[in-house]
A and B are shown apart, each in its own frame.
Chain A
Amino acid sequence: MGLETRGLDKRTSERPDKLLPLDGLHRRHGAVMRSFAGFAMPLQYGSGLVAECRSVRTGVGIFDVSHMGWVSLYGGAAFLSEHCPVEIERLAPNRMAYTQVLNPGGGIIDDCLVGWDGQRGCVDAVFNAANVERVLAHLGGVAPGGVRIQTHEGAMVAVQGPEAAQALAPHIEDLESLGFLDFADRCVGEADVRVARAGYTGEDGFELAGDKDALEGLVEALVENGARLCGLGARDALRLEAGLCLHGQDISEEVTPVEAGLTFSIPRHRRHGEGYAGAEVVRAQLDQGVPRSLLGFRLEGKIAARSGCEVQDAGGRLVGGVTSGSFSPTLGYPVGMALLSEALEVGDRLGCVVRGKVLEGVVTALPFVAHRYHRAKRKG
């Protein structure tokens, strides 16, 4: 079988992989490791990807996301707002927002969560592992004097699923005051840990960043109580089910947030405004429409159309290409996202060309699996 050609076990570069802070934990728990973005990462554990996805949808799953690039910018809120559609200064303290770092053409250099840390007086951002060097080089190259960028070491884990809050409650105080996209510093054992109610699965959950030993102890305690360790394979299937883009596949420097269906993440006053890189392109695309858009689709049968497959309309004409595709363990059928010409809408038939055969499907609204984020009850 073509295991090797699919890159499952292969290193992507000659540089030896960096080890995650929790590398020993993964190996103790029987992880199959794979090279990803320069790190040796757990692809899946012994119980397998399907069981891992099920745990996140029905219980608790834990992901090591220490490879992600967590940075703090001091004196850089106004500066960063010139490169993202989100205006950082308008965020309430300890609130995060999903946004993108754009190039002048509106293309997405990376997507990220940003938050305003009122106590430290800095903007925190979490970038994709594969992009953090590129983003920091881009921002560093245009940053005015006085902006200081600090990168964080340590571990980061995501605890995800409908029972995540319940599982963490014995270990971390006052989680109930955090709603989706809120963050705060909390104690885990003796250590201060950054706790954000966020994730990449569509479920309620938390991302915890900080001291390696404290987080390793916490993960072991959670696993002891029935939480399941989950690898990159489950993470990718879950984010696709939740309709969440992956940079480098669904979005890139060639794709704008409007084309990618991310207009929801652009504050209203900036959709037709200016003041950030790519604003003119965003405005023009919102006014005049886009030549192509990122849409969801599902297929009949069991075979998925993977990234790179051609997509045809009902008449057999080439209308785009698949950017992400997977069998959905939760739904039991293949789903995917594709960049398609604007003529296609939800409900339209399409075909994906897989190994010379056309697989029939239909354009489907995103997300495939509904989000179940925790909305905090707010005063007023």
Chain B
Amino acid sequence: MNMRHYTKNHEWISWDGETATVGITDHAREALGGIVHVDLPQEGRQIARDEDVGVIESVKTASELYAPVSGMVTVLNGAVLENPEHLDDLEQELWLFKMTVSDEQELAGLMDEQAYQAFVAAS
């Protein structure tokens, strides 16, 4: 299984050496409460680490989505765009889009699972 990396903005990224998958953590999904709309970056777009690339709109808040690393967006999760209201009931962790990774070193700067759980517990 690929190792997951986490950002302080509650995104996760998992990289298989070729393609990375990006999503938001269950902690973030639960904190949002009632997702109603998702905006994602277009396929083919070059995104830079920490760039504001989308929005997750829930009943109570709109939360910006930030790029965990730099690269190019390759695939969007169409189910998320079409039926965002089903995201609350999703059993597995939520993935949003896939991307290439320009600089592997950027992944090393992110948290691992254990560090992220400690970060959530302390916040």
Contacts and interface: CB of A to CB of B under 8 A. Distances in A.
Contacts of A301: 37
A4 B10 CA distance: 10
A9 B55 contact: no
Interface residues of A, number: 29
Interface stretch (A44-52, A86-94, A96-104, A126-134): A44-52
A8 B36 contact: no
A343 interface: no
A6 interface: yes
B88 interface: yes
Given A326-B59, A329-B59, A1 B9 contact: yes
Interface string B51-73: 00001111111111110000000
B33 A304 contact: no
A29 interface: no
Interface in B62-112: 62-66, 84, 88
Contacts of B64: 1-2, 5
Best-surrounded residue of A3, A44, A46 (most CB of chain B within 10 A): A3
Contacts of B61: 6, 8, 306
Interface in A116-160: none
Contacts of A50: 33-34, 59, 88
A8 B31 contact: yes
Contact of A3 (B28, B36, B55): B28
Contacts of A4: 8-9, 123
A1 B34 contact: no
Nearest to B120: A9
Given A1-B65, A9-B123, A237 B59 contact: yes
Nearest to A237: B59
A2 B66 contact: yes
Interface in A325-339: 326-327, 329
Nearest to A334: B36
A44 B61 CA distance: 13
Best-surrounded residue of B24, B61, B123 (most CB of chain A within 10 A): B61
A329 B88 CA distance: 13
B33 A48 contact: yes
Contact of A327 (B10, B30, B34): B34
Given A2-B66, A49-B59, A304-B57, A329 B31 contact: no
Best-surrounded residue of B33, B63, B66 (most CB of chain A within 10 A): B33
Contacts of B37: 301-303
Nearest to A232: B60
A15 to B, nearest CB: 18
B55 A355 contact: yes
A1 B10 contact: yes
Nearest to B37: A302
A236 interface: yes
Contacts of A6: 61-63
A59 interface: no
A21 interface: no
B60 A326 contact: yes
Contacts of A5: 64
B63 A3 contact: yes
Nearest to A306: B62
Contacts of B65: 1
B34 A304 contact: no
A171 B117 CA distance: 42
A112 to B, nearest CB: 25
Interface string B1-38: 00000001111000000000000100010111110110
A302 to B, nearest CB: 4
Given A9-B123, A304-B57, A1 B33 contact: no
B62 A1 contact: no
B63 A49 contact: no
Best-surrounded residue of A2, A53, A306 (most CB of chain B within 10 A): A2
A238 to B, nearest CB: 11
A43 B33 CA distance: 10
Interface of B: 8-11, 24, 28, 30-34, 36-37, 55-66, 84, 88, 123
For the complex of A and B, list the 8 residue pairs with the smallest distance between their C-beta atoms, beginning with the closest.
A49-B33, A302-B37, A2-B64, A50-B34, A1-B63, A327-B59, A2-B63, A327-B36
